[in-house]
A and B are shown apart, each in its own frame.
Chain A
Amino acid sequence: MSTYILRRLIQTVLVIIILSYVCFYIMTLMPGDPVELMIQSNPKITSADVERLRALYGLDQPAYKRYGTWVNTILGGDLGYSRTYRVPVEELMIPRLKNTFILSLLSLLLSLAIALPLGIYSALNPGGRFDSIVNFFAFSGISIPSFWMALMLIIVFAVQLGVLPAGGTETVGLNSENFFNFVKDRGTYLILPILSLSVQQIGSFIRYARSAMMETLRNDYIRTAKAKGLERKVIIWRHAFRNALIPLITILALSFSGLFSGALLTETVFAYQGVGKLVYDSIIANDYNVAMISFIISVSMVLLMNLLADILYGFADPRITFS
């Protein structure tokens, strides 16, 4: 198995290198550059200024040379400098990655905690009243646009009821040394974004869990297990659920790979200090260093989570080997 993992890791690195160049090149093809944005906001900029700034930023160089410079900087342990915010990339990204991770993980855990039991229970009683109600809410959750949901939550809980903050990450100026107070404060700001993100996830996870379980419950080995007189609990958890895990692992691996990518709409509406909006803004403003680091993180997460999923398949289904 270690040879398999090593081989996959080498492949992952190669894919990251190739994709990073493709991404860098595509970004250079987009209209406009950072100097362009300066020209728009300052009519006093002269053609000499434009020439000077483009040379200073290396924008007068071909894409492959600029990519080479970027790779050299990264290999030197420097993630670069954000030209939009005028700070080093790590200073800008690390706190946001943490925030996004907390938001995404909590929302994922909440979604799983709600969706899995509901999905499984629905699959065990298909066509029943409970199944119909769960399906109705699952489809509603999937269909509701997340930005609309976010605004509704703000209007109800922040504007009308006034029980939760309308947006932000933490109370401004709160330098609480008490850990409990800190967690309470952050938790207060996380409730609405988590709810907003979870509604859609719960809907889709219910559907996946329900269909995976129903598919498995139709198999011959389940019928055999029932004929053998096994306990219902054993049939559901040992035989059915374990086999239903394979499609669920794929879905979960993909969901986990998005933990650091951010939720652009939710973060924007709730003014949450996450990485989603930062990545969007960096692409729009041609802030190459920030955009490229986010890209590397996203690609790495997808590839690593897929590798993890492949390994987990082996545990879920012993017939799968790594030779």
Chain B
Amino acid sequence: MKNLCKASILVILTLMYFVSCTGKKNSSSSVKNTELKIGTSQEFETLNPLIMTMSQTTYMYHMTGRKLVHMDPDTKWYPQLAKEIPTIENGKAKFITVGGKKKIIAEWEILENAKWGDGVPVTCHDFAMARTIALSPNVSIADKESYDMIEKIDIDSKNPKKCSFTYKKARWDFNRHGTFYPVPKHLEDEPFKKFNAQKEGYEKNSTYSKAPTNPGLYNGPYLISEIKLSDHVTFIPNPHFYGEKPKIQKVIIKLIPNTAALEANLRSGTVDMISTLGLSFDQAVEFDKKINAEKLPYLVTFTKGITYEHIDFNLDHPFFKDGRVRRAMIQALDRESLTKSLFEGKQESAIHFVSPKDPWFTRDEKYVIGAKFSKRDAEKLLAEAGWKKGEDGYLYKDNKKFSVNFGTTAGNKIRELVQVYLQDQWKQVGIEVNIKNEPARVFFGETTKKRKFDLAMYAWVSSPENIPRSTFHSTSIPSTKNGYSGQNQPGWNNPKVDKLIEDLEIEFDSKKRTDLAWELQKVYTEEAPVIPLYYRSDVSAVPPNLKNYRPSGHQFHETGKIEEWTLE
């Protein structure tokens, strides 16, 4: 008994010793440009750009890798590794006809001083290598189109920094190689040749997997000095970087999966900032209030994004086949007051699928039909469609009550709040909405994929000037035939929309292209296959002395210009 008591006392004393050994930690962000620790709540994988799929990995890749072109926070494309972006207008690209098919050939030239982290120059061979690997049937690349759109790459025999890309199809966005990542031929050629015959052989044996801290894998402002999956990655400046030298001497990305713990880590100084892939929106709003109340040394940024939250109608549902019913359900919703009351105006209500950040956005009433809240108009449309109010206050038609199921991802606090808000507004016009939520895995893996819903609320991730083929084209309606691959979950089948999408892809005149995009917005708002709710904002928490930090709000993260960040 005495021995056990002694052991307990010993354990407690050891704990007290460890506590006494540690002192209060100070946030290193106060020290000018020495170190920046960025907290995130999202997982990451190895940084092989050809096979990476996670947003956090892309966020980090933009710190270490550069491509031909990139998009800035104002949604403008600019050259990174390329000297300039070839266009028809500047004469660096031209149309050719081969076998009666219209194609494009473009001249690309890589910056003279662009080098990999081991000092080897970046050349067109590295782009050709990436394309060869990506097109291999044994490599599990998700987005093959970025590489497959190029028919061939001809490299100048005298200057490997110059090459011409021949594109299979004459598309106006041929030069927007935002997801065409080069890989160092001098490191990746050997594992590819050796292991390509095996399924997934290359990715298991690539230098990115076997020696991820090899400086030759990266050509961006930073190199990776340490990587621990599911924990942290440490970045140090790349001495061979072609551009402006990065100011911050060490950047650490630290994964803290629990968002409440992430905030506590920020406040305790374990991390200096929280990236746009960290806090949830509601948490950021609360933290912003705490900053003001407790005078905490942080700023919360809210950046308008491209992603938009919406509700899909299942257009095969008998109630939703009538366009008047769909429009009435939209007009019955006061989305302005929803965003004001739930998001304090920090997320904007949506009027269609194009974000205000997108050059194709329009508010013109000529193209945006019936988006305004009007309970009276909604009731009128429902009455025209044959729905009459019963004694219980709900609508009936042919003895059927207007009662539908409304699903989203269970456990998502914001979505669940929005659901209750909308349920109440629809009830006021006589529509009964039954909330039926499911875990994300079931909701996306079964319900929306197989279109087993009445109303489904979720978000569409997009990019500026994105042609919505995967979400609106009739060939993208998920079915057994296409392996449930499309994202046209409402089942919108409109030949006019299909034609507009196809025309958009090949329209080279910018003005005409915008007209087509506006026309698409008009058909969308007229037919209302989807209820647009709000455009999401990206949130981050940063120290006030971090300068030149501009969150992008789209998939091309702000780390694309991390060399400009400075702690003053």
Q: Taking beta carbons and an 8 Å cutoff, which residues of A are in contact with B?
A: 30-33, 36-54, 56-57, 81, 83-88, 92, 96, 109-110, 113-114, 116-117, 120-121, 147, 150-151, 154-155, 157-159, 161-169, 172-173, 184, 187-188, 191, 195, 236, 268-271, 273, 277-278, 281, 284
CB of B234 within 8 A of chain A?
yes
With contact pairs A36-B445, A42-B143, A166-B264 given, residues A116 and B24 touching in the complex (Cβ less than 8 Å): no
Q: How many residues of B sit at the interface, in one of the four size bands?
A: 35 or more
Bound complex: CA A284 to CA B445 (Å): 11
Q: Which of B180-188, B237-245, B482-490 sits within the interface?
A: B482-490
In the complex, which of the residues B4, B52, B483, B484 contacts A116, with contact meaning CB atoms closer than 8 Å?
A: B4
What are some 27 contacts across the A-B interface (CB < 8 A)? Answer: A31-B442, A32-B442, A33-B445, A36-B449, A40-B444, A44-B145, A44-B470, A46-B485, A51-B485, A53-B140, A56-B199, A81-B200, A110-B11, A117-B8, A158-B265, A163-B19, A165-B268, A184-B18, A184-B21, A187-B14, A188-B21, A269-B258, A271-B231, A273-B228, A277-B230, A278-B230, A281-B43
Please state if A47 and B256 are interface contacts (CB–CB under 8 Å).
no
Nearest Cβ on chain B to A79's Cβ, whole angstroms: 12
Q: Which residues of chain B are within 8 angstroms of A188 by Cβ–Cβ distance?
A: 18, 21-22
Q: Given A32-B442, A271-B256, list of 9 further CB < 8 A pairs?
A: A32-B441, A39-B485, A43-B487, A117-B1, A117-B5, A159-B268, A168-B254, A172-B226, A173-B234
A36 closest partner in B (C-beta): B445
Judge if B15 is at the interface, Cβ distance under 8 Å.
yes
Complex formed: what's the CA distance from A177 to B239 in Å?
28
Interface residues of B (CB under 8 A from A): 1, 4-5, 7-8, 11, 14-15, 18-19, 21-25, 37, 43, 45-46, 48, 51-55, 137-138, 140, 142-146, 179, 199-200, 203-204, 209, 226, 228-232, 234, 250, 252, 254-258, 260-261, 264-265, 267-270, 441-442, 444-446, 449, 460-462, 466, 470-471, 482-487
A113 and B7 within 8 A (CB): yes
Query: Which of A121, A157, A158 touches B1 (beta carbons < 8 Å)?
Result: A121
A151–B8 touching, CB < 8 Å: no
Name the one of A36, A42, A47, A157 contacting B482, with C-beta atoms under 8 angstroms. Answer: A47
Asked if residues B142 and A53 are in contact (CB atoms below 8 Å), the reply is yes
B487 — which chain A residues lie within 8 A by C-beta?
39, 43
Given known A-B contacts A32-B445, A44-B145, A273-B230, A56 and B483 have beta carbons under 8 A apart = no
**Separation of A83 and B268 alpha carbons in the complex (Å):** 34
Q: Contact check: which of A56, A83, A117, A271 meets B258 at CB < 8 Å?
A: A271
Would A56 and B255 be within 8 Å (CB), given that A50-B483, A87-B229 are in contact? no
Cβ-neighbour of B231 out of A48, A113, A191, A273 (below 8 A): A273
Residues of chain B within 8 A of A43, CB atoms compared: 460-462, 466, 470-471, 487
Pairwise interchain contact A47-B23, C-beta atoms closer than 8 A: no
Nearest CB on B from A168, distance (A): 7
Expressed in whole angstroms, the minimum distance between the Cβ of A312 and any Cβ of chain B is: 19
Known: A50-B485, A172-B252, A188-B22. A38 touches B53 (CB 8 A): yes
A97–B486 alpha-carbon span in the complex (Å): 39
Report B-chain residues with C-beta under 8 Å of the C-beta of A162: 23-25, 268-269
The reply to whether B143 and A166 form a contact with Cβ atoms under 8 Å apart is: no
Contact A86 B446 (CB under 8 A): no
Q: Which residues of B contact A270 (CB under 8 A)?
A: 261
Q: B53–A37 contact, CB under 8 A?
A: yes
Please indicate the chain B residues that have their CB under 8 angstroms from the CB of A84 in the complex: 43, 45
| Contact in complex: B257, A277 (CB < 8 Å) | yes
Whether the Cβ atoms of B231 and A169 lie closer than 8 Å is yes
Instruction: Closest A residue to B37 by CB, please name it.
Output: A172
In angstroms, Cα B56 to Cα A84, docked, is 13
Question: In the complex, are the beta carbons of B140 and A56 less than 8 A apart?
Answer: yes
Query: Are B270 and A168 closer than 8 Å at their CB atoms?
Result: yes
Q: Please measure, in the bound complex, the distance between the C-alpha atom of A151 and the C-alpha atom of B268, giving whole angstroms.
A: 13
Residue of B4, B46, B203, B229 near A117 (CB, 8 A) is B4
* Residue contact B229 to A85, C-beta cutoff 8 Å: yes
CB distance from A158 to the nearest CB of B (A): 4
Given A30-B441, A41-B461, A169-B231: A49 touches B261 (CB 8 Å cut-off): no
Q: Which residue of B lies closest to A43 (CB)?
A: B470
B445 close to A158 (CB less than 8 A) = no
A281–B43 Cα distance when bound, in Å, is 10
Chain A residues within an 8 Å CB radius of B442: 31-32
Give the docked Cα–Cα distance between A129 and B460 (Å): 62
Q: How far does the alpha carbon of A149 sit from the alpha carbon of B563 in the complex, in Å?
A: 40
Q: Which of A43, A48, A49 has the most CB of B within 10 A?
A: A43
Chain B neighbourhood of A120, CB < 8 A: 1
- Please give, as numbers and ranges, the residues of chain A lying within 8 Å of B255 by CB-CB distance: 271
Report chain B residues within 8 Å CB of A277: 230, 257
Most buried by B among A45, A113, A188, A271: A271
Selected contact of A31 from candidates B8, B204, B261, B446, CB within 8 Å? B446
Q: Give, as a whole number of angstroms, the nearest-CB distance from A321 to chain B.
A: 31
B142 interface neighbour in A38, A121, A271, Cβ under 8 Å: A38
Instruction: Decide: A151 and B261 in contact? CB cutoff 8 A.
Output: yes
Q: Given that A117-B8, A163-B23 are contacting pairs, would A47 and B137 also be in contact in the complex, using a CB cutoff of 8 Å?
A: no
* Docked-complex contact A86 and B209, CB < 8 angstroms: yes
Question: How far apart are the CA atoms of A41 and B470 in the complex, in Å?
Answer: 13
Distance of A168 Cα from B262 Cα, bound (Å): 11
Docked Cα-Cα span, A54 to B137, in Å, equals: 12
A residues near B19, Cβ cutoff 8 Å: 157, 163-164, 191
Given contacts A53-B140, A162-B268, contact A168 B231 (CB under 8 A): yes
Within the complex, the shortest CB–CB distance from B371 to chain A, in Å, comes to 24
Q: In the complex, how many angstroms separate the beta carbon of A264 from the nearest chain B beta carbon?
A: 10
Contacts A87-B46, A110-B11 given; does A41 touch B54 at CB 8 Å: yes
Q: Which A residues are CB-close (under 8 A) to B261? A: 150-151, 154, 166-167, 268-271
Cα of A220 to Cα of B267 in the assembled complex, Å: 60
B8 touches A114 (CB 8 A): yes
